[in-house]
Amino acid sequence: MTVNPKQLAGERAAEYVEKGMVVGLGTGSTAFFAIQKLGQRVLEGIDICGVPTSELSRRQAELENIPLIGFDQITRIDLTIDGADELDPHFNLIKGGGGALLREKIAASLSDREIIIADESKVVAHLGAFPLPVEVIPFGWKAIQRRLAELGCHPALRRSRDHAPYLTDNGNYILDCDFGRIDDPPALEAKINAICGVVECGLFIGLTDRIIIGKTDGTIEERTR
């Protein structure tokens, strides 16, 4: 039987959820399995409340009958379970491949604990092979693109299948910024977020407590910071 490493990681993470918790529900094909497992646990009777980080995750959680609460109704989250596009040995991440980086980062910043779930392909020695998603307001986006390029990257406007600019759940654009190897993620995050018109970037620094990596051989590796 073939194992799905993302499913292994997602289902293991769901075991960390306890009765009464407010749980941040991440976005993506790995978070999908965590939400699915949480749906099973709700069916079995666990009393939790989910905070979805995207419309996609909200729709899935609704189908799973997970009780939901919005960001405007909470001041903190007990535990968020989310995926990542890259993760380095220092628990720094690139996120936003699925376009939900802003709400994911708000959830992470409000969370007592953040568990990141991934398969082995996401583990890297240095961030940067995956182009860094940067959410920007549509107004004046070309000027913002030029400012980002001055930081040493090639920023490409993300497009939808119909070639129109991809719109985030917040009505913004995403510029995917190919920096190559990122040697100093905190410094880069500060420079990017200082550009007027940038809403948020997909560097997640110091926000992760535990990483759960599902492997193709059926094993699971857990790392704690």
Active site residues: 104
In this structure, which amino acid lies at residue 155?
P
Provide, rounded to whole angstroms, the least separation between the CB of residue 47 and ligand 5RP.
26
Closer CB to ligand 5RP, residue 83 or residue 185? 83
Taken in order 38, 39, 40, 46, the sign of the CA dihedral is: positive
Which residue's CB is nearer to ligand 5RP, number 22 or number 87? 87
3-state secondary structure of 160: coil
Give the nearer residue to ligand 5RP in terms of CB position, either 150 or 177. 177
Beta bridge partners of 25: 52, 81
**CA 211, CA 214: separation in Å to the nearest integer?**
10
Give the nearer residue to ligand 5RP in terms of CB position, either 104 or 114: 104
Q: How far is the CB of 150 from ligand 5RP (least distance, A)?
A: 25
Distance, in Å, from the CA atom of 158 to the CA atom of 131, rounded to the nearest integer, reads: 11
Residue in 93, 88, 74, 77 with CA at minimum distance from that of residue 28: 93
Residue ranges in contact with ligand 5RP by CB under 6 A: 26-31, 82-85, 95-101, 104
Amino acid at 175: L
Distance, CA of 70 to CA of 58 (rounded, Å): 10
- CB atoms near residue 44 (< 10 Å): 7
Q: How far is the CB of 203 from ligand 5RP (least distance, A)?
A: 11
Q: How far is the CB of 45 from ligand 5RP (least distance, A)?
A: 28
Give the CA count within 13 Å in the CB-facing half-sphere of 3: 15
